[in-house]
Amino acid sequence: MAKIFSLLVNGTKHSIDADSQSSLLSVLREQLDLTGTKYGCGEGQCGACTVLIDNIPQRSCLTPVGDVEGKNVTTIEGLAQNDRLHPLQEAFLAEEAMQCAYCTPGMIMSAAGLLRTEANPSTEKIINALNGNICRCGTHPRIVAAVQRAAKVMKGGAR
Amino acid sequence: MNSLSRTPLPVEPERYEFHEARAYVFELTRRDLFKFLGAGALILCAETRPLGAQESGRGQRRGEDLPKEIGAWLHIGEDGVVTVFTGKVEVGQNIRTSLTQAVAEELFVPPDQIKLVMGDTLLTPFDMGTFGSRTTPTMNLQLRRVSAAAVDMLKDLAAQTWNVPREHLVAANGKISDPLSKNSAPYRDLLKGRELAQLIPDQDPLIPATEWKVAGKPLQRIDGRAFVTGAHKYPSDQKRPGMLYGKIVRPSKFQATLSSVDASVAEKIPGVTVVHDGNFIGVTASSEELATRAAASIKTEWTAAAQPSGSNLFEYLRNNLEKPEKIAAASSSPMPSNVVQATYTVSYIAHAPLEPRAALAEWSGDKLTVWTGTQRPFGVREELASVFHIPVESVHVLMPDTGSAYGGKHTGETAIEAARLAHATKKPVKVVWTRKEEFTWAYFRPAGIIDIRASVDSNGRVEYWEFTNFNSGGSGLTTPYAAEVRNEHFQPTKYPLRQGSYRGLAATANHFARESFMDELAHQTRLDPLEFRFRNLKEDRLRAVFEAAAKKFGWPRSKKSLGQGFGIAGGVEKGGYVATCAEVAVERATGAVRVVRIVTAFECGAIVNPDGLRNQVEGSNIMGLGGALFETVEFEDGRILNGAFSKYRVPRFKDVPVIETVLLNRKDLPSAGAGETPIVGVAPAIGNAIFDATGVRLRSLPMVPNGLNLS
């Protein structure tokens, strides 16, 4: 049954009127207009809906909104700060690591989660971290290069 | 798809246009619609198209002339911003950027001052659709011509305004200047808001590729920031005030007829509307989840005839020929006695665009507006006009840059569903297909069978070549190799699943068969596979890409480890020339096949956007790898069995090899498209490498859905 939730998304508190079993994805997209988080499969197989929940990449399509009350949710819209793009966003542009770019938000959020625990990940670690994200256009090598580029930049003193 | 028997298609242009019967025929009549709409506007519509007379998605305006006025394509605002109008759409090929480069080059305006309006049926000139790798050879050229004509007109204006000779005027950086009189004015000041009303001349010299300054060089993606920040609104992200979410109750099988409905539970849910019209049952609700629950509560019974299954697919295709052809009769020469033969097959595969089909429809009086992801916005406009009995002028289709298509988004089912629900509820309705719907109710790359017979003389030259493709299509069917006698056929058949365009069309199947068989012939004649091809090649451009790929790859290579194998393949398609080398590693104990490295050499004339082109070549390789190794649609008696990413395997990061791309830039030749052709060499190069590694010849795509059986 519908219930009022308090959700912390990208640093802002929102009151949400939703069923606790509703997916976080649907609440983000339909109620908060945060459509950067994408639907791709609804079964946690494609990663297009990835967000950070307390800094850990999670599939928002499989996450009941009731489970994230009191937690810190970061979506693709919350990654840039004061109009300054996150190094991962810069790196995806620099490496042209996209074609249709529908997978891009999920890729960036998965990579952001990785870089928060691993400042200098090996290629193998990047591949492992992103293997659950599908890019149907086939930009995988560029995405790996973008994550490596961002890691370098971030090690150099940026976020 | 009403019956298994459909009109066969000519060989080319094969399946860019969709020839399936249309998905919906509503009982909603013109009179009902008129009642709802209230206004008298429809009286103006004298023309009635009989239901079913138009097949789904078939554009009616094939011969429609492109507008000749510059102003239909290009507008220079009083703020100096250049707006370009094109019916082409962006599905990830980054044509928004490459077309901007073309305009920037000829119009002498920086790319950041150019804005493209794409695929909007109200604002842009008619366009058949974005497919067939036609954007670069046609639209790129068209926009260059338009831009050159605009500069001519601006120079005329400047010459008049300043009363100076025209021939000294120079266009640069959005301005016309006269070095002699020192006059200079931005385009906007010369135009003062007026339209570019002049006609585009038939012949206008364009800047040769050798002198390009903006085109021919990498340019960072237009609107890139919107994509990496999540700000871009894809079709499935669209929203309108008061919008409802729609869900469709799907039939139990393909080609099913609804026999009973019990929607009593759904109808009692507050805020839910059930719409039942013929075989169509859908619901609307204030949220997607509520709509999903309401749709799931509707009990339906369907009747459908028994249908073929994947297990007997190839038998079915062979036994259900359409208009049987006299296959071997085209040649008067007798078949040589040393002929060898082989049969190849390709399975049905799915496009699986990461953004499923989506549409938002809104009625305003008798006007329908639909935002949807489609490669054919004008075709979808026709479909909607036909289904709802309104003139095309009353339908406005907009195509926001979409989450990919690969040939899979030619048709307007989702738009029709959303429009039908919006019509019933009198509110805007958005329908976004689930992944399962996308895997089931879209259409597939056709499956097919290819029979080849050939003979080779003692010098390693092909003497006799017979090639027949059953059902999958005619693209890339003709061999680029010399053969004294050639018999090449496309044989249409009845087919069990809805099928249509896919990146490269049948060129993937035909190249897989031909280039694998060329490898078989090379081994039979004990020639190096590349040397064998060279002995039979007649195309210099194809030879050049083979040489470039071989050089980069290090062909011929000697094996360093057990299970290592190398393969080569190539071809010509849609004006592009490709050669692909693959290295595989086969683990003999488990049969696991890993593609280690792919080298692709590609030549498509003068290169417009080198990095965008590399991106397309890389993407083609990875997408091609999926169809080569493991992608297949499993089906049984009118049902899809693996309609989920957990069951239908697409390439992931761990599957991706090292990819190296060699681009040959032929600035002396017109630019051809590149989104499709690089895919055709992937499967045969991998198959030939697997043979090299193991001695096992795999003649069916996908080759190793469950690994290689070496026992």
pLDDT tens digits, residue range B340-380?
999 999 999 999 999 999 999 999 999 999 999 999 999 99
CB contact under 8 A, B653 and A36: no
Averaged confidence pLDDT in chain A: 95
> Above 90 in pLDDT, residue B511?
yes
Helix (H) or strand (E) holding A94: helix A87-94
- Three-point CA angle B357, B430, A75, nearest 5°: 80
Phi, psi of B5 (to 5 degrees): -100, 120
pLDDT tier for residue B711 given thresholds of 50, 70 and 90: confident
Q: What are the extents of the domains in chain A?
A: 2-78, 87-155
Averaged confidence pLDDT in chain B: 90
The topology (CATH level 3) of A2-78 is Ubiquitin-like (UB roll) (3.10.20)
In the prediction, which pLDDT does B6 show?
Answer: 34
pLDDT tier for residue B3 given thresholds of 50, 70 and 90: very low
pLDDT tier for residue B19 given thresholds of 50, 70 and 90: low
Q: Token pair for residue B676?
A: 């499709």
Reduce the secondary structure of B545-604 to three states and give it as a string.
HHHHHHHHHCCCCCCCCCCEEEEEEEEEECCEEEEEEEEEEECCCCCCEEEEEEEEEEEC
CB contact under 8 A, B289 and A42: no
Phi, psi of B228 (to 5 degrees): -85, -10
CB contact under 8 A, A138 and B621: yes
pLDDT in tens, B279-289: 999 999 999 99
pLDDT tier for residue B328 given thresholds of 50, 70 and 90: very low
In the prediction, which pLDDT does B60 show?
Answer: 36
In the prediction, which pLDDT does B325 show?
Answer: 55
pLDDT in tens, B123-142: 999 998 988 888 888 999 99
In the prediction, which pLDDT does B38 show?
Answer: 39
> Above 90 in pLDDT, residue B635?
yes
Determine contact: A77 vs chain B, CB below 8 A: yes
Determine contact: A87 vs chain B, CB below 8 A: no
Other C-beta atoms closer than 10 Å to the C-beta of A15 total: 9
In the prediction, which pLDDT does B198 show?
Answer: 87
Alpha-carbon distance of B243 to B271, in angstroms, equals 12
Contacts of A80 in chain B (CB under 8 A): 229
pLDDT in tens, A8-37: 999 999 999 999 999 999 999 999 999 999
pLDDT in tens, B74-94: 999 999 999 999 999 999 999
In the prediction, which pLDDT does B64 show?
Answer: 58
Q: What is the mean pLDDT of residues B310-315?
A: 97
pLDDT in tens, B184-206: 999 999 998 788 888 998 877 89
> Above 60 in pLDDT, residue B7?
no
Least confident range of B109-113, B330-334, B447-451, B461-465: B330-334
CB contact under 8 A, B230 and A76: yes
- Among residues of chain B, what percentage have pLDDT more than 90? 83
Contacts of A141 in chain B (CB under 8 A): 618, 656, 658-659
In the prediction, which pLDDT does B169 show?
Answer: 97
In the prediction, which pLDDT does B33 show?
Answer: 55
Strand partners, B112: none
Determine contact: A2 vs chain B, CB below 8 A: no
Alpha-carbon distance of B146 to B84, in angstroms, equals 10
Determine contact: A123 vs chain B, CB below 8 A: no
In the prediction, which pLDDT does B324 show?
Answer: 58
Domain A87-155 has CATH 1.10.150.120: yes
Q: What is the mean pLDDT of residues B646-653?
A: 98
Q: How far is the alpha carbon of A14 from chain B, nearest alpha carbon, in Å?
A: 18
Q: What is the mean pLDDT of residues B296-302?
A: 98
Please give the domain boundaries of chain B with CATH numbers for all domains.
1-55+233-304+357-432 (3.30.365.10), 70-221 (3.30.365.10), 448-701 (3.30.365.10)
Residues within 8 A of B (CB atoms), A 44-63 only: 45-46, 48
In the prediction, which pLDDT does B50 show?
Answer: 29
Q: Nearest residue on chain B to A139, judged by CA atoms? A: B619
Measured between CB atoms, which of B234, B622, B658 is closest to A102? B234
CB contact under 8 A, A99 and B654: no
Measured between CB atoms, which of A43, A77, A137 is closest to B646? A43
